[in-house]
Amino acid sequence: MGSADGAWRGPEREPGALAMLGVLARHGITPIDAEGQRFDPHVHEAMYEVPDESVPHGTVVQVLERGFMIHDRPLRPSRVGVSRGGPRERPSEAPDANTEPRGEDAEPPVSGGATAYEKTGEREAGSAGSRYDEKL
């Protein structure tokens, strides 16, 4: 893993590493570019926080172990160090089409069926669990 002078060499500098990355890419496996990106728990695993006021809060500042994607799914998450203490990014002001209104504007959910805690009536005799409350 290290060279003779003790300096660590990245995987791109190891003999045959570029050929291996090419073979992986042919099968749909690509490395995750994490450094400088906003932390995403679906593809990153936060190992520690780094106090850094110069970058926005929640930005990946160090990559400990590169992760890989297989097509559009994470095969192995990148293990990263995340910034803490910088300015926080504000969410966009426009409401997303996929979000539902909350608070006073929200309508109560309409349930066509019974919820988990509502009684659904008498169970059929002989069905699974129909005699659960009977004394034995």
pLDDT at residue 5 in the model: 45
pLDDT computed for residue 61 by the predictor: 94
Q: What is the pLDDT of residue 111?
A: 52
Specify the pLDDT at position 3. 44
Tens digit of each residue's pLDDT (9 = 90 or more) over 58-101: 999 999 999 999 999 999 999 999 999 877 766 554 445 455 55
Quote the DSSP letter at residue 38. Answer: B
Q: Which residue has the higher pLDDT, 36 or 136?
A: 36
Confidence band of 2 (pLDDT split at 50, 70, 90): very low
Which tens digit of pLDDT belongs to each residue from 104-122? Answer: 555 555 555 554 554 555 5
Name the residue with higher pLDDT: 112 or 56: 56
- Sketch out the chain's domains with CATH numbers: 31-88 (2.30.22.10)
Task: Report the b/e string of 1-38 with b at 16+ CB within 10 A.
Answer: eeeeeeeeeeeeeeeeeeeebeeeeeeeeebbebeebe
Distances in whole angstroms, Cα of residue 109 to Cα of each of 38, 102, 105: 34, 12, 12
pLDDT of residue 94: 45
Determine which helix (DSSP H) or strand (DSSP E) holds 88, and give its type and residue range.
Answer: none
What are 29's strand-pairing partners? 70
Each residue of 14-54: pLDDT tens digit? 778 888 888 999 999 999 999 999 999 999 999 999 998 99
β strands within 4-110, DSSP E: 29-31, 44-51, 60-65, 68-70, 73-76, 78-84
List the Cα angle 30/66/45 in 5-degree steps: 110
Place of tokens 């069905």: 127
